[in-house]
Structures are given as structure tokens and as C-alpha cells.
Structure 1
Amino acid sequence: MTTELRVLRREEWDQWYGKLELAFGGVPESPAERKLWNELTECERSIGVWDGGECVGTAGAFSFRVSVPGGSLVPAAGVTMVSVAATHRRRGVLTSMMRRQLDDVRELGEPLALLTASEPEIYGRFGYGIATHQLSLDIDTVRARITAPPGTDDVRLRFAPVAESAEACEAVYRSRIGSRPGMLAHTPGWERLPLLDPPADREGASAMQCVLAERDGDVVGYVRFHNKPEWDASGPNGSLLLRDVEALDPAAYAALWRFLFGIDLTSRIRVRNRPVDDPLLHLVTDVRRCGVRVRDSLHARLVDVGAALAARTYRTPVDVVLEVEDAFCPWNEGRWRLSGDTKGASCERTAGPADLAVSVRDLGAAYLGGVTLSSLAGAGRVHELRGGALAEASTAFASDPAPWLPHGF
């Protein structure tokens, strides 16, 4: 096979993106979606593999900043739009793109690479570990109710046009970014992503609706959703499709959920993506009626082990030497001494004896604090070389609250 891997040219975007759509089933996106992704694509960070005049592989990256334990925003490459044509599978196309991409990320000085995977088994061999999980829920609002905390009745709710309320909603989102690891800071243009509302994605439901939560005239929360009216022999049996919900305090959060639970003619709320420690689980009267499921979400890859581990803080004091295995990015291999606490950290090369042996994939899984090193050790993927080192490091790496990726990319 004679193929060429090169940086995407802007005039090639339509063909390049069309091949991505074909690889994911061939159903074209709406004009609004294509327009937004065209404008957000960083062509200088996007690559394609070409076989003659045909594009047979695609991959891109967004220039993100991601919240890490301690609240700092760390530069990260948001790996995206990865595909290989069905005619060119098993020929090294994906590996060549991953190689080029990680080399470029390292050259740019970004310590992390992030992605969401269509299939979770694909990217482990390139050093990505599953760093966050998400809840989906199918809530029976007839049998479960909301128990609201004090102050909920002081929150005013009102419908607001989606476009006109976008700036207020974005302000709430911005104020929440440092509260959880895994959240992405929005650079210009990304505030438009939550507003995409193609009819094909509504599953027969209404156009997006927005309700703002206010206190003393200030917006303290919002919810965006779709209403899907349905009727059967027993009467109304509609459902709500939640898009996103954020609030600045518990009372506002409870007020928004209580509103959703009380909408007339509906009996279910379908939720696609919430944190695994969402307070909703403690607001509902019967969690068994919520159809809770957990799946993988954000996959993280440490491109520069030393810089990445030094960029976050640690829940308890830690001083351990990590023996890191990283065959795909060998510059990370070897021993690193990590010293840190809640105020900061350092991570430097060392010749001292190792306390833990860990792959870069599993460091990525533990990096945001949602996956414990102890659980990975229980699966035989982290090995304790000094007694007590595993408990020390596992406790230090943990995050409260749990990390969460609010939206894909």
C-alpha cells in the first residue's frame, strides 16, 4: 500500500469530513452541524491519510484546557474525528495517525491527550486509559419524586428562548469548570455546541427548550431539554430528553429537577450523561426507579508524564517513585519521583528504587482521580514494589467530586 499522511488542507475539508461520516455509517449530518464542525476544525492539527486522490483515514485535535484535581486548567489535545475507511482496515493507517498525532502533541508542549471512543477497546494500545465515567438514567417520574432541600422554594424558574439565554447558561457553565476534573474550558465557538438542535437527534421530541433558575435577579442555573408527547390506551405517557443541567448551589439544582419531575403529561425523564456522583441520586425518593447505568466517557493519555503529574494537586501528601512503562511513547519510560500534596506537586526523573510499577495507560486512567490505583492493582495492572506505597498513592490520586466530561467533542 502506498499512502500519504499529511496535514489537512482547508479546501479538502468536505471530502475529509465526508469520509468520517461514511466510516460512522454514512448518514450525513445536518447543515448546521457540518457548518459548526467545519468552523471548529483546526486544520493545522488535523491529518488525513490519502491513497491516491482518496482520503482513507482521518484524525484531528482540538486545543483544549481541561480541569484537573486542584482546579487548574491544563493544556490538552482533544483527539477527535478519527476514522479509517472500511477498505483500508488492518493496514496500519490508525497506528500511523496515532504516532504522528502524539509526536505533534509532544512538540506543542501539551502534557495530555484526551478522547472519547466509539469503542473503548481501541485506544488502550496507544496509551489511553478510561479516566471518567458517566451515568445514563431512565427515570420513572410517576414512582420517584424529588425531596428538595431548604431554599428550593426561593428559586424562581422561567422559560427562556434558547438562543437568547445562551450567554447566561454559558456563564453558569464557566463558573462550574474548576469544580470537577474533566470539564473543558470553552474557547470561542464552543459555546455554540450545546445549541445544536438537529431534528434527527430529537427522536420525535420537541425543539430544545430552556428554563432558567434565578435568585434575586441573577441566573443561578439552567436546564435544556426536549419534550416528547406520547399517548397510549391509559392516557398521557410522554417523556423528557435531558440535554444538560447545571446550577451554582443545591437549592437551584433541586428546583430544576423538581420542575422536570412535575411537567404535565410526562412520566419519564431520559438522561444521557451525568456524573457518577450526581446529587440527583440523593434527591430522588427511589433510586431503583431511575434505571441507572454506567459507561466509559473520557479517555486520557499522559504525553509528558512529568509535566502532567506535576500539573495537578493531590488529596493527601504523596512521595512515591513510579516505574512507568510506555512502549508507544518511549520518552516517558523509566522512573519518576512524584512528590505532592494539596498545594502542588513535582515529578522528576530519578535513579532511586521504584515503589510502584504502572503503565502509562493506567496512569491516564487514574490521572483525574476517578479510577483508583488500588482498583487497578486489584486487576493486576498496577504492582506495589514497596509496602504501603499503593495505599499512599491511591488515596493521594483520588478526587472528590468525581471527574466528569459534560459533552463530547
Structure 2
Amino acid sequence: MTTDLPDLPDLPDLRVLDKADWESWYGTLDVAFGGIAESAEEQELWRSLTEYDRSLGLWDEGACVATAGAFTFRLSVPGGALVDAAGVTMVSVAATHRRRGILTSMMRRQLDDVRAAGEPVAVLTASEPAIYGRFGYGAATSQMKAAIDTARVRLSVPPGTDDVRLRYAKPADVHAACEELYARQVTRRPGMLARQPGWERLGLLDPPGERSGASPLQCVVAERAGELVGYARFAVKPDWEWQGPKGTVHVRDVQGLDPAAYAALWRFLFGIDLTSTVAAHSRPVDDPLLQLVSDVRRCDLSVRDSLYVRLVEVGAALRARTYQAPVDVVFEVADDFCPWNAGRWRLTGDAKGASCERTDDVADLALSVRELGAAYLGGVSLVSLAGAGRVREARRGALAEASVAFGSSVAPWLPHGF
């Protein structure tokens, strides 16, 4: 099913991006996000990652005035499966061309293309949360930010922590091994992305002009019996006051295969000389770090939305994951933007697998595809959505049954943006 684009009589030239037009296309995106050009290093990375056949530009009298793109991803879902997903990205409309239906046109074209590619899910990170709900995207994961006062907060580490050997390494020298370790982690937590070729470079991106006074990227690896069991990437920003040093450790990424390795890395980060703060800008909301610290109030925690999920094919998406409790429920799904999803679907499943097919049976729960997207990775409960009036229970008990089944034993988390 293909839906015609809205009429744009003055701006008809919406087309797939040509490589020769990348600089003007990306320049339009830069202006839309404030007009400060990225470093040559960062631009080169995004140019190399751009999937031209999945990128759209709108042109008006030879000038690019709107952009949108998608990356080909595999997304971890509850149960550990990797689901094909379109990573919607680089969306912008020039301020001179707002309120003409351009964004709606691009979203329409893009979701039709995603469906044609056989991807059951689309995902994005939103610059402004209010934008994408009308296109069926629901906020499905959160990220936690921390600024930990290491002068007041201590760590209580598990047995075996002292058996972990830590050593500094040049980030590029150990990058391949760290990527292999990351890949082992992906299926353990919903919301993580299996990195496709080229994406491993993102972890090394470190433009000098964007360090804001911090050091170049550093890396420490954790080893046991000669085997890599964890790593931390970070930078140190020195600072001083009259009383002495008060530097900050800016944590880029921490991964550990077991509790001892994880704790050893955090203990190292807490103990770096001449620092008094450890700042982490994107951690899962159930990070085990919170159970290691002596005083969570001194960690200055805050939480915000992160990954937005859109079910492009409801049946295929719900079949792709498992459910932590048995479930047999009929959803009445509303989806004005992708009407092929609208109607009733019977979901039956458990921890071993699931089926989701169209049905004429009476609905147990009524909701829109946006709520299904929010609940899809197990981080947002259907009960919570019902409390906001966004899910309606028609059969007594169906809401609790489905809400428990959709949950996840670990919070979903997107470790990096795109």
C-alpha cells in the first residue's frame, strides 16, 4: 500500500539524495540545528554512514530546504531477538518553509519505504518530543544522567573485584576487542543496536574542537586471566579552585561482562587523581551503578526520554519479541497515519515466542499504535498509559495481563544516538 504525498504545488521536488548533493543537504541540516558547522572529522563520519538510497531532500529553486534519512539497524527486543529497524535521522525543515506539510510528506514517504523494505519497526531520537507522536512514534526508552560527587560517595564492590586487572590502552588499539565485547551485550538489554559496519567508528569520534577543555578520549580495559571482560571510555576535564583540584571525569561508555568487572571500572573512574566529579550523560535507568554507590542523592540523577519506537507492521513487530508472562489478548489498534495497522489483532505469547494475527474477536484493549510503540521494549507499562487515558480496557483483567507480559526484566536503553 502506498499513500500519495500531500500536494505541494510550490515545492514539488522531493527526491532521493544524490551523492553530489550531500554537502548542501547536510548544510541545510546544520542550519536547522543552529547553524554551527560540525568538525571535518564528524562530517566525514556522517557522510560515510549516510545511506543515500534511504535519504530524502526537498529542493526549491535549486536549494535544499528539507532533509530526512534512515539507517539500516537491528534492534534488540525483549527475549534477545534482533529486529530489522529503520533508524530515522537527519530530519529538518528550513525555517523559511515551515507549516507547509513538508515534514508530514517526508514522514509519509519514509514510512511507506520502510514498509516496502520489510522492516517492522522504525526508531528515532527526537530533538523535540512533541513532534513525532502524531506520526505514531512513542517514547519507549529513557536515559539517565548523573554527576556524582566522588568526595562524598563511596562504592561497595562485589567479591572478585580485586581480581580484575585494569590497564590503560589507546582507544584505537583495543577498539576491535571492545566492539566484540559490546556485541555480546546487545541481546542482553532491549533497545541496544547491533552495530553495522562503519558504526564502530562512532565510539572513537573525538573532535578536538568539541572537547570543551577536556582531554582527548581515554580508554581503560578490564581483564581477567588475559581475557577482556570490560572497558571504559572517558575524558578528564581538569579544574581548580583555591582549595585544590576539582576536575571532572566525563564518562563516554562503560561495559562489563560481569559484576566484578563492571564495579572495577567504576571504582577506577571514581579514583582518578585531581577529580571530584564523575559525569555520565547516558546510562540505563536501572544501571547497577546505583546499587554500588553509598549515597544515591549525591549522584545528582536526572532522567529524560531517549528512543522513540514506531510499529510499521504491528503483527510482525509483536511476533518478533517474547513476553515475560503468558498473554492472550485482542488489541483494537488505531493508526491513522499507517492505516494498514488499524483494526483488531490477537496477540498470544510467552517467554518462548508469540503469534499476532488479525481477528474478528471482540477487543480486550483499545489503544493507538503510539502506545504500542511506547510499550514495545518493556520500559513503559500499559497500566501507566491507561492511567493517562491512552489505553482503554474492555475486558476486566486484560490490562494487567498484557502489562505484565510486555514488561522487561532489564530497562531498555539506547547506548548512543544516531
Pairwise TM-score range, normalised by the shorter structure: over 0.9
For residues 302 and 201 of structure 1, the distance between their equivalents in structure 2, rounded to whole angstroms, comes to 35
C-alpha contact (below 8 Å) 2:331/2:367 kept by paired residues: yes
User: 1:74: how far off?
Assistant: 0.3
- Aligned equivalents of 1:145, 1:3: Cα separation in 2: 61
2:350 pairs with 1:304: no
8 Å CA contact retained: 1:318, 1:396: yes
Matches of 1:147 and 1:348 in 2, distance apart?
49
1:407 alignment partner, one of 390, 393, 416: 416
Residue 206 of structure 2 aligns with which residue? Answer: 197
Question: In the alignment, what sits opposite 1:113?
Answer: 122
Task: Give 1:2 deviation, angstroms.
Answer: 2.9
Which position in structure 2 is the counterpart of 1:101? 110
C-alpha distance in 1 between matches for 2:81 and 2:357 = 20
Is 1:243 the equivalent of 2:226? no
- The amino acid of 1:199's aligned partner reads P
Tell me the distance in 2 between the aligned counterparts of 1:96 and 1:197: 35
2:3 corresponds to which residue?
Answer: none
- Farther off after superposition, 343-352 or 198-207: 198-207
CA distance in structure 1 between the aligned counterparts of 2:111 and 2:268, rounded to whole angstroms: 45
Q: Which SS does the other structure have where 1:118 is aligned? A: coil
Q: What amino acid is the match of 1:321?
A: V
1:213 matched to 2:222? The reply is: yes
Structure 2 counterpart of 1:214, one-letter code = E
Shift of 1:199: 1.9
Asked whether the 8 Å contact 1:3–1:52 carries over to 2, the reply is: no
Task: Give the counterpart letter for 2:323 in structure 1.
Answer: Y
Q: Is residue 2:147 matched to residue 1:146? A: no
Is residue 2:270 matched to residue 1:258? no
Q: CA deviation at 1:326?
A: 0.3
Q: Under a length normalisation based on structure 1, what TM-score does the superposition of the two structures give?
A: 0.99
Residues 259-278 of structure 1: CA deviation (Å, up to 9, x unaligned): 01111110001110000000
Does residue 226 of structure 1 match 2:235? Answer: yes
Name the CA distance, whole Å, in 2 between partners of 1:96 and 1:54. 18
Q: Give the deviation of 1:168 after TM superposition.
A: 1.3
1:126-141 map, 5 Å = 126-141=135-150
- AA aligned opposite 1:405: L
Whether the aligned pair in 2 keeps the contact of 1:127 and 1:328 (CA below 8 Å) is yes
Is 1:167 matched up with 2:176? yes
Out of 60, 63, 70, the residue aligned to residue 54 of structure 1 is: 63
From 95, 98, 102, the counterpart of 1:89: 98
Distance in structure 2 (CA, Å) of the matches to 1:356 and 1:325: 11
1-structure distance, mates of 2:115, 2:31: 30
Structure 2: stretches of 5+ with no match in the other structure: 1-9
Contact 1:177 1:183 in 2 (8 A): yes
* Residues 318-397 of structure 1 mapped to structure 2, 5 A cutoff: 318-397=327-406
Do the aligned residues in 1 keep the contact of 2:74 with 2:194 (CA within 8 Å)? yes
* Secondary structure, aligned partner of 1:339: strand
| Superposed displacement of residue 171, structure 1 | 1.1
TM-score (norm 2): 0.97
Tell me, in whole angstroms, the C-alpha distance in 2 between the residues paired with 1:77 and 1:94: 17
Paired position in structure 1 for 2:287: 278
1:304-323 per-residue CA deviation (whole Å, 9 max, x = no partner) reads 00000000000000000000
Q: What's 1:293 paired with? A: 302
Secondary structure of the corresponding residue to residue 164 of structure 1: coil
Q: CA deviation at 1:126?
A: 0.3
**Amino acid aligned to 1:377:** A
Report the alpha carbon displacement of residue 25 of structure 1 after superposing the two structures with TM: 0.6
Aligned residue among 64, 88, 93 for 2:73 = 64
**Partner of residue 43 from structure 2, selected from 17, 21, 34:** 34
Cα-to-partner distance string for 1:121-164 (whole Å, 9 max, x where unaligned): 11000000000000000110000011110000000000000110
Report Cα offsets for 1:53-87 as digits up to 9, x if no partner: 01110000000000000000000000000000010
Paired residue for 1:314? 323
1:327 Cα deviation from its structure 2 partner: 0.4
- Distance apart, 1:203 and its partner CA: 1.7
What letter corresponds to residue 280 of structure 1 in structure 2? Answer: L
Question: Structure 1 counterpart of 2:174, which letter?
Answer: S
Please give the alpha-carbon distance, in whole angstroms, between the structure 2 residues aligned to 1:349 and 1:331. Answer: 11
CA distance in structure 1 between the aligned counterparts of 2:101 and 2:147, rounded to whole angstroms: 40
* Aligned amino acid, residue 13 of structure 2: E
Aligned to 2:165: 156
d(CA) in 2 for partners of 1:284, 1:203: 28
- Structure 1 unmatched runs, 5+: none
Q: CA deviation at 1:400?
A: 1.0
Structure 1 residue 201, shift from structure 2 partner: 2.5
Give the partner amino acid of 1:319: D
By how many angstroms is 1:208 displaced? 0.4
Report the Cα distance in structure 2 between the residues aligned to 1:262 and 1:38, rounded to whole angstroms.
Answer: 38
Q: Which residue identity is paired with 1:394? A: S
Residue matched to 2:4: none
Structure 2 CA distance for aligned equivalents of residues 59 and 199 of structure 1: 28
Contact 2:237 2:249 in 1 (8 A): yes
- The amino acid across from 1:207 in the alignment is P
3-state SS, counterpart of residue 35 of structure 2: coil
Q: Does the aligned pair in 2 maintain the 1:140–1:269 contact within 8 Å?
A: yes
Q: Secondary structure at the match of 1:374?
A: helix
Secondary structure, aligned partner of 1:179: coil
Instruction: Specify the SS of the correspondent of 1:81.
Output: strand
Q: Which one of the candidate residues 3, 11, 18 is aligned to 2:20?
A: 11
